[in-house]
Chains A and B, each alone.
Chain A
């Protein structure tokens, strides 16, 4: 028998919950948890939830973005960045998570899906270090 992956469970949950009323939804979700327990997959619940999140995001055209900067990013810059991401990834909605990390020194690190654009000073210094050590 083929092994069930967290992605398979998430797809099943999504299908089972599609178009259900609030009352039915509670029952379906309870049963889903029982399936996870029966299949001894409760330990993988985090992966199932992530997979479910991805399915919802795909259906709703949502793109999740993680932005890390050394100093707090002001609102106009945030919305400008969100607009850029919307265009680049052809997204309907952009959900941004903005973090402050002093160790980045300056610039920003933007993470969308499995792509990263790192313009932080700490990254540039790291590249310079490598360049000086390797001579290339």
Chain B
């Protein structure tokens, strides 16, 4: 055994060839708060990686006349004035490969889950120009999130960018985790980018994903709250680089940025330390470009270019519901729609607390399956009318029959769209429930029994409407034959329910 080790080591040493080439070096003039000013390095490129004498890595962000402003990606306390800095000639990149699946990595691609080093196939640049127009195609396939209100009213398509926006504690992360959990068997790779989150929260998320068997197709990229701002700044770019690796292999990827408000704050910190001029809310002038170049990398490639896609679900945390602040308006304008979560709804017990009126999906409708389109077509309008009538009905009790009917239907719709955390619903079940709702089968079921009715109906219909289920699952189509079968099954179930 010992001979074997010695022999192998001898072979390794014999195979080793030291590099003797000219290197570009500079010297640290100043270090403060994760930023280093370097003299020398005359030919350095923007975003080029540098290595410090103590082994830490940095990225050149400010190229000035005599100095280079470098953000230090790690512990800056051991870097001293006069230390040597070497240019690597490489733009910041992250190791990528299939081995990343099921792992938690730092934005530099280092394993932080204690499961050992990651053997990567290759490296991908963190900053990259988004894929071109020629290679793209329109969004036409749905991402089944398993959340009824989203799949029915604000559908998300593969390659879409849908913003999730809301105050703290409104269930933004929960929506995303549910979406990841529902991707099991949907041929989707998920990347969850955690920016400035507490390590305890990340640990909980990882444990939940592990429990749901979702880590097998998920990569977590994390820059924790205790990490320096530069790591938070590069985290989403690192995440999308991982997503691009899988997309280049023709796979569909769902990437979640949790959250871009903290990302903007990290970038503001770096920019102010680099003495870049502050603008609105002290953010630098290029904060729009910061997010637009990131979200533009989400796309759907056409078949000629591999046919993969990246669907982005960025999260933005608002302060007291103010969606007209700087960063929220920026990201709203970049994305293809937003899912707006409200504190009031959350505390009323309407969870997920999605405000259907303010939420929109600009391109997702094209991706919705026929069956879902058919059953959920008027749901958004019905709910909007319900909210209006609900407010109006508080002033008087004399309401005509049709108004009462609409109010009752609305109450049941709200009840149907409520969903517990970590319990995504299959598309087929969603179609059945929404069909029963919109066709009035639930009108005479008491509101408090709606949940039980729904649960029973989905179980019963799965057993008895086999043709319908097969059609939806295989062809995603809606036929008269299937509809008749479903109608009969719902009637049968309803008779037995009471």
Name A's B-contacting residues (CB within 8 A): 5, 7, 51, 111, 113-119, 123-124, 127-128, 131-132
- CB within 8 Å for A7 and B66 given contacts A114-B41, A128-B18: yes
Q: Which of B12, B13, B24, B65 makes the CB contact (< 8 A) with A114?
A: B24
Q: Is the CB of B22 within 8 A of A124?
A: no
CB–CB B16/A116 < 8 A? no
List the A side residues contacting B16 at CB < 8 Å.
127-128, 131
In Å, the complex CA distance between A132 and B16 comes to 9
Chain B nearest CB: distance from A98 CB in Å?
19
Closest to A135 in B: B12
For A127, list chain B residues within 8 Å (CB). Answer: 16, 18-19
Q: Are A132 and B12 in contact (CB under 8 A)?
A: yes
CA distance A80 to B95 in the complex (A): 44
Of all chain A residues, the one with the shortest Cβ separation from B27 is: A114
CA–CA, A123 and B19, complex, Å: 10
Q: Which residues of B contact A115 (CB under 8 A)?
A: 22-25
* A116 and B25 contact, CB distance less than 8 A: yes
CB atoms of A117 and B22 under 8 A apart: yes
Say yes or no: is B42 at the interface (Cβ < 8 Å to chain A).
yes
A-B contact sample (6 more), CB < 8 A, given A113-B40, A113-B42, A128-B16: A7-B66, A115-B23, A117-B20, A128-B18, A132-B9, A132-B13
Report the tally of A-B residue pairs with Cβ distances under 8 A: 42
Within 8 A of A (CB), among B1-54: 9, 12-13, 16, 18-26, 40-42
B58-75 at interface with A (beta carbon < 8 Å): 65-66
Closest 7 CB pairs of A and B: A114-B40, A124-B18, A116-B25, A127-B18, A117-B22, A119-B20, A115-B22
State the B residues within 8 Å of A (CB). Answer: 9, 12-13, 16, 18-26, 40-42, 65-66
Complex alpha-carbon distance, A117 and B65, angstroms? 25
Given A124-B18, A128-B16, A131-B16, A118 and B23 contact (CB-CB distance below 8 Å): yes
In the bound assembly, the distance between CA atoms of A10 and B93 in angstroms comes to 39
Q: Taking the nearest CB of chain B, how far is it from the CB of A72, in angstroms?
A: 22
**A114–B42 touching, CB < 8 Å:** yes
Q: Enumerate 23 A-B pairs (CB-CB under 8 Å) in ascending A order.
A: A5-B65, A5-B66, A7-B65, A7-B66, A111-B25, A113-B40, A113-B42, A114-B25, A114-B41, A114-B42, A115-B22, A115-B25, A116-B22, A116-B24, A117-B21, A117-B22, A117-B23, A118-B23, A124-B18, A127-B19, A131-B12, A132-B12, A132-B13
Please indicate the chain A residues that have their CB under 8 angstroms from the CB of B9 in the complex.
132
Complex Cα spacing A123 to B53, Å: 12
**Complex interface: chain A residues within 8 A of B26 (CB):** 114
Closest-CB distance, B70 to chain A (whole angstroms): 14
What chain B residues lie within 8 Å of A118 (beta carbons)?
20, 23
By a CB distance below 8 angstroms, the chain A residues around B41 are: 114
Contacts of B65 on A, CB cut-off 8 Å? 5, 7
Q: Which residues of chain B have C-beta atoms less than 8 A from A123's C-beta? A: 18
Q: How far is the CB of A35 from chain B (nearest CB, A)?
A: 19
Q: A131 CA to B19 CA in the complex, in Å?
A: 11
- Nearest CB of chain A from residue B111's CB, rounded to whole Å: 14
In the complex, residue of chain B having the shortest beta-carbon distance to the beta carbon of A7? B66
Known A-B contacts A116-B22, A117-B22; A128 and B66 likewise in contact (beta carbons under 8 Å): no
- Per the bound structure, the CA–CA distance linking A71 and B20 in Å amounts to 20
Within the assembled complex, what's the spacing in Å between the Cα atoms of A9 and B157? 60
Q: Which residue of A lies closest to B9 (CB)?
A: A132
A23 to B26, alpha carbons, bound, how many Å?
Answer: 39
A51 to B67, CA, bound (A): 13
Chain B nearest CB: distance from A68 CB in Å? Answer: 12
Which residue from chain B places its CB closest to the CB of A119 in the assembled complex? B20
Query: Which single residue of chain A is at the shortest CB-CB distance from B38?
Result: A114
Chain A: CB-nearest residue to B41? A114
Chain A minimum-CB-distance residue to B44:
A114
B83 CB to nearest chain A CB (Å): 14
Known: A5-B65, A128-B18. A116 touches B13 (CB 8 A): no
Report the minimal beta-carbon distance from A5 to chain B, rounded to whole angstroms. 7
In the bound complex, what is the Cα–Cα distance between A118 and B19 (angstroms)?
A: 9
Provide the bound-state CA to CA distance between A131 and B65, in Å. Answer: 36
**Which residue of chain B has its CB nearest to the CB of A125?**
B18
Least Cβ–Cβ distance between B84 and chain A, in angstroms:
8
Closest A residue to B20 by beta carbon equals A119
Alpha-carbon gap, A115 to B84, bound state (A): 12
A124, B18: Cα distance in complex, Å: 6
**In the complex, residue of chain B having the shortest beta-carbon distance to the beta carbon of A54:** B66
Contacts of A7 in B (CB 8 A): 65-66
- Bound together, the chains give a CA A116 to CA B22 distance in angstroms of 5
Residue of B nearest to A111 (CB): B25
Q: How far is the CA of A115 from the CA of B23 in the complex (A)?
A: 6
| Complex: chain B residue closest to A50, CB-CB | B39
Complexed CA–CA distance, A103 and B450 (Å): 80
Give CA–CA (A131, B42) in the complex, Å: 28
Chain B residues contacting A131 (CB-CB under 8 Å) are 12, 16
Bound CA span A114–B12, Å: 33
Q: Which residues of A contact B25 (CB under 8 A)?
A: 111, 114-116
Closest to A8 in B: B65
